[in-house]
Each structure stands twice: as structure tokens, then as C-alpha cells.
């Protein structure tokens, strides 16, 4: 079920809220059970055939977690290794069976048309984290219904954030959360509306301009290639950032704070900072459960860089069964290796500071360009298509503008021709609209405060980087912000005539 749909907003959500508060005030366990059952229904709305898979995964992992709690020494390690392996085998079958069969044999098989269950990556990683935390003694959950809610909780079930048990479930034990509170409703609804606006008004509007390039790249010229790539870069950002905001806002309606998942990543000044701001809970998972167990930086600089590269390659493969995703992960691994090597060089040379305002601007531009370049491989259907787009971004096909624009420039068109700019037939409206929306999205992403800055007075999320920096545009529970949120909500509801899935549902 989509957050950006009338069936969710006018049916599922009000009924779930009413049922939860009605039951939780009488018995907290009843409220937890209602919310868990509602979450399973939410998942089954997509395809009821995969509900048994979800429940089977929950039951088996719950049993393994209890066995891990009771076991000691090597027995505990064996239980943990077996349970993690079983999760990875399940994930590998559904996500990579077709990919590896095609890669090994060179042709597709009708017998292996495995459909990827929605959200399997997120609920599998959530449960792996729970198993490891149980083995480490960080969590002692023995109540099945609470564990079921922890895994299936509908705000985060299908696209994250990837949660730790301690971040969510203790909040359901707070008796204040069994009663509907006006402050939670006002803050949660506002955060949800901001996220919904990101999705419906920005991401979905940018989508056609990105799709035009990636569906049939041909031989794009420089501005056409960059226009389509930037349209996708901002579409993906506002789509997933919007989902994360909506998840946080929905959870806040129940009085539960979810961890922050985005913190204006496109404002980063280096690639290390970017990964501390982009999909923060996945970055944390890869660090804590892959990079550090591989050895982290404990065995020298060379081993640390190798561990970093392996982590990013696997992180790329996690996003999808395609060599393009592996290449995308490899690019970011290379970026991170270069960034760490550069930092080590600066430290040895005793260089301090960031080079002033121009230095910071150059660092930001380089980081954003590198991230945008990598998105080509993330989005393109195959490697040849990605390479054609990259060639266009490098100016291989030249620089052209639609002749409809040239006709309005008068004598200046001749000056542009002398600078090497040509004219193409048609496409003027599409070109202008693409770049107009790219500029609008860029202004919002680069200069507008993010959601946690707007809502900083009301603890919008579990912020791993400390308290969010305040913004001039600071929300208060007063008539003007309420009116603004209401008007934004109306605009979003009018846009729901074209509901679309979130991009991260495919992962």
C-alpha cells in the first residue's frame, strides 16, 4: 500500500490509529497486537501471496533469536552464523537467482522468473541486526508479538529506515504513547506532509524528464545528458527523502520517534560526509555489520581500503541484481578510498582548513558531480546505455540547443554558434521544462532547510548527529504554519491522481 494513495490516507491510516489508541489504553499488548496485524495487512495489500514468506521469516528468526539468547560460547556463535546464513540464502534466492543464472549461462530461464518480494532487503537486514544484537547481549526481547511489530511496523517495513530494536520498541512501553496527543499529531502530520510534498510535487514531476533520457539515451548531447541525469539525481533524492520523512511523520502519530535517514546529503563537501548524510541507517548497518567485522581500519591502511571497497561493492549489489549496481558501488568505494588517501596526505603535509570559501565551493561541486556521475550507472538499464549517457555528459556528441530557442535569440544565436553550440530540430519545450525543474529542485535541495531543521524545536527524529541546526523557517504550532501545511496538503492531494511507487520499493 502506498503512503501517497487515498486508500492509505482515508482508509488504512485512520482505522489503524483509532484501533491502536482504543486498545492500547486498555492493554498495551492489545495495542501492539493490533498494530502488528495492521502492518501485516498493509504488507499483504501489495500481494497476499508473500505474507506467508514474511511471517515465516519472522517466526524462524524469532526462534533463532531465542536459541541464541539461551546458548553460550561456541553454541551461540553457531546459532548466529546459521541464522544469518539462512537469511542471506533467502535474500539471495529472491534477489539474485535470476541475476547469477543469467550471468553464468548467458541466457534467461523461464523457470527462474523469481519475483522480488517488496521490502525483503529491509526486513531481512532488520532481523540480521536483531540477531547480532541478541548475540552481543544488547537486546533481550522474548515477546513474540512485540518482535512481530518490530519487524513489520508499517512505517518502515518496505523501505526503511533499518532499525535497531532499542530505537523503537521501548517507546511502545511508554504509557504516554497509549493516548493520542495533540503535539504528536501536529508534528507528525506536518513532517508527513513535507515528505508527501517532496514525493508528489517534486520527485514525481521530475520523473518524466529523467525517464526520457534513460529510456532511450541514443547519442545525447551535453546539456540533454546532464539535464536528464540531474533530473534523476533530484528525483531519487526527493523520492527517498520524502519516503523517510513520511515514515518518521507516520510513526510520530503513534508517539514513536524513528531514526533520521537523510540529512541534506547534496550539501556535502566530500564523499565521506555524503555517506554520513545519505541513507544513514543503511550506511550504519554496512559499517557495523560488514565493514567492522571485516576488520575495519584495525589492520593497516591497505587492509582498511580493501575492506571499504568490499563493503561498497556489496552495498551496490544489495541495491539490485545488476552489474550496473556493482559498478555504482565500486565507484563509490573508489571515491571513498581516494577521499581517505587525500585526507592522509593532507595530514602528513600539515595542511589545515578548507581553502576558504572558493575551496569549499570547489569541494562541494566536485562531490555533487561525482555522485551525479555515479547515478548514471545506478539508473541506466544496462552498461551500454550508461556509457552512451556518460559520453554525452563529457560532450562527445557536442553541445546543442533546440532551434526553437535559437529562433528567439536573434543575433546572439550566431555568437553561440561561434562558441561551438549547434541547434537541434524540435525538443524545445522538453528541454526548457527539464532544466526549469532541475533548477527548482536544486534551489530546494541546496538552499532550503531540511525537515529536521524546520521542525528542530520538536525533536522530529532520533538524530544520530546531535540536535539539528535551527533554521530561519522554523515550524511552530500556530495558525500561519498550520495554514501553510494545510495548503501544501491540498496541493499534494490534488497530485494524488497520479500515484506512483517509491523508487526504493524495487530494492
Helix (H, G, I), strand (E, B) or coil at 473: coil
Structure confidence at residue 467 (pLDDT): 45
CB 390 within 8 A of CB 376: yes
- Where does the pLDDT of residue 21 fall: very low under 50, low under 70, confident under 90, or very high at 90 and above? very high
Report the predicted TM-score, pTM, of the whole model to 2 decimal places: 0.90
Q: Examine the pLDDT at 163 and tell me if it is beyond 90.
A: no
Q: What percent of the chain has pLDDT over 90?
A: 54
The residue ranges of every structural domain in the chain are: 6-180, 187-269+354-506, 270-353
Per-residue pLDDT of 449-482, as tens digits, reads 999 999 988 888 765 444 455 556 778 888 888 8
pLDDT at 213 over 60: yes
- pLDDT (0 to 100) of residue 161: 85
Highest mean pLDDT pick, 42-51, 76-85, 283-292: 76-85
Per-residue pLDDT tens over the stretch 303-356: 888 999 999 999 988 887 788 999 999 999 999 999 988 888 888 888 777 678
Tell me which range, 111-115, 276-280, 424-428, is most confidently predicted by mean pLDDT. Answer: 276-280
Cα 100 to its chain centre, rounded Å, is 25
Q: What is the mean pLDDT of residues 493-506?
A: 78
From 52-61, 80-89, 456-465, the region with the lowest mean pLDDT: 456-465
Task: State residue 167's pLDDT score.
Answer: 84
- C-alpha 20/C-alpha 35 separation (Å) is 6
Can you state the angle between helices 73-105 and 51-70, rounded to 10 degrees?
Answer: 150
The C-alpha cell at 336 is 571513498
Mean local confidence (pLDDT), 497-501: 73
Residues 6+ apart with CB under 8 A from 215: none
Q: Is the dihedral of CA 48, 54, 56, 59 positive or negative?
A: negative
Taking the C-alpha atoms of residue 108 and residue 95, their distance in angstroms, rounded to an integer, is 15
Average model confidence (pLDDT) for the chain? 87
pLDDT at residue 11 tops 90: yes
pLDDT of 174 reads 84
Mean pLDDT of 150-173: 86
The pLDDT value recorded for residue 465 is 43
Helices (H), 25-143: 28-44, 51-70, 73-105, 120-135
Asked whether the predicted pLDDT for residue 112 surpasses 60, the reply is no
The percent helix, strand, coil of the chain (3-state, each to 5) is 70, 0, 25
Residues 163 and 156: beta-carbon distance below 8 Å: yes
Task: Find the angle CA(371)-CA(282)-CA(280) to the nearest 5 degrees.
Answer: 70
- Each residue of 248-278: pLDDT tens digit? 999 999 999 999 999 999 999 999 999 999 9
What is the dihedral sign for C-alpha 3, 5, 9, 12? negative
Quote the pLDDT of residue 464: 44
Encode pLDDT of 167-194 as tens digits: 888 888 888 888 999 999 999 999 999 9
**Structure-model confidence comparison of residues 224 and 506, the more confident one:** 224
As annotated, the active-site residues are: 319
Kindly state the percentage of the chain with pLDDT values over 70. 90
pLDDT for 32: 93
Amino acid at each position: 500500500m502506498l503512503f501517497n494513495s487515498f486508500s492509505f490516507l482515508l482508509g488504512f491510516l485512520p482505522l489503524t490509529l483509532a484501533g491502536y489508541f482504543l486498545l492500547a489504553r486498555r492493554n498495551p499488548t492489545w495495542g501492539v497486537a493490533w498494530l502488528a496485524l495492521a502492518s501485516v495487512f498493509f504488507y499483504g495489500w501489495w500481494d497476499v501471496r508473500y505474507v506467508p514468506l514474511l511471517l515465516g521469516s519472522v517466526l524462524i528468526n524469532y526462534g533463532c533469536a531465542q536459541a541464541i539468547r539461551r546458548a553460550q560460547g561456541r553454541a551461540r556463535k553457531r546459532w548466529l552464523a546459521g541464522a544469518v546464513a539462512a537469511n542471506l540464502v533467502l535474500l539471495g534466492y529472491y534477489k539474485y537467482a535470476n541475476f547469477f543464472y543469467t550471468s553464468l549461462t548467458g541466457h534467461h530461464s523461464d523457470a527462474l522468473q523469481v519475483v522480488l518480494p517488496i521490502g525483503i532487503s529491509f526486513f531481512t537486514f532488520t532481523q540480521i541486526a536483531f540477531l547480532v544484537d541478541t548475540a552481543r547481549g544488547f537486546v533481550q526481547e522474548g515477546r513474540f508479538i512485540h518482535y512481530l511489530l518490530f519487524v513489520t511496523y508499517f512505517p518502515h517495513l518496505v523501505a526503511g529506515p533499518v532499525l535497531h530494536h532499542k530505537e523503537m520498541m521501548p517507546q511502545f512501553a511508554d504509557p504516554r504513547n497509549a493516548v493520542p496527543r495533540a503535539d504528536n499529531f501536529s508534528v507528525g502530520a506536518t513532517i508527513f506532509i513535507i515528505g508527501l510534498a517532496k514525493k508528489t510535487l517534486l520527485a514525481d514531476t521530475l520523473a518524466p524528464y529523467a525517464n526520457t533520457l534513460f529510456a532511450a539515451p541514443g547519442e545525447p548531447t551535453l546539456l540533454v545528458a546532464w539535464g536528464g541525469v540531474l533530473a534523476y539525481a533530484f528525483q531519487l533524492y526527493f523520492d527517498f527523502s520524502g519516503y523517510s520523512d513520511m515514515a518518521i511523520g507516520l510513526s510520530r502519530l503513534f508517539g514513536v520517534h524513528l531514526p533520521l535517514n537523510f540529512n541534506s546529503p547534496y550539501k556535502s563537501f566530500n564523499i565521506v560526509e555524503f555517506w554520513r548524510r545519505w541513507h544513514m541507517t543503511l550506511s550504519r548497518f554496512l559499517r557495523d555489520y560488514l565493514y567492522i567485522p571485516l576488520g575495519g581500519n584495525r589492520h593497516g591502511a591497505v587492509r582498511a581500503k580493501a575492506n571499504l571497497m568490499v563493503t561498497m561493492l556489496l552495498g551496490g549489489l544489495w541495491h539490485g541484481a545488476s552489474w550496473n549496481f556493482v559498478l555504482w558501488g565500486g565507484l563509490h568505494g573508489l571515491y571513498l578510498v581516494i577521499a581517505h588517501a587525500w585526507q592522509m596526505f593532507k595530514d602528513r603535509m600539515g595542511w589545515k582548513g578548507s581553502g576558504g570559501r572558493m575551496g569549499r565551493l570547489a569541494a562541494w561541486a566536485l562531490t555533487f558531480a561525482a555522485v551525479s556521475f555515479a547515478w548514471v550507472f545506478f539508473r541506466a538499464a544496462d552498461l551500454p546505455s550508461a556509457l552512451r549517457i556518460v559520453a554525452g555528459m563529457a560532450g562527445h556528441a557536442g553541445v546543442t540547443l533546440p532551434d526553437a530557442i535559437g529562433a528567439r535569440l536573434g543575433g546572439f544565436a550566431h555568437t553561440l554558434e561561434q562558441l561551438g553550440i549547434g541547434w537541434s530540430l524540435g525538443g524545445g519545450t522538453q528541454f526548457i521544462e527539464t532544466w526549469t525543474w532541475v533548477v527548482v529542485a536544486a534551489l530546494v535541495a541546496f538552499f532550503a532547510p531540511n525537515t529536521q531543521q524546520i521542525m528542530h524545536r520538536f525533536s522530529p527524529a532520533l538524530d544520530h548527529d546531535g540536535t539539528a541546526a535551527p533554521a530561519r523557517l522554523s515550524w511552530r504550532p500556530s495558525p500561519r504554519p498550520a495554514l501553510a501545511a494545510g495548503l501544501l496538503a491540498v496541493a499534494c492531494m490534488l497530485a494524488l491522481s497520479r500515484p506512483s511507487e517509491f523508487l526504493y520499493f524495487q530494492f
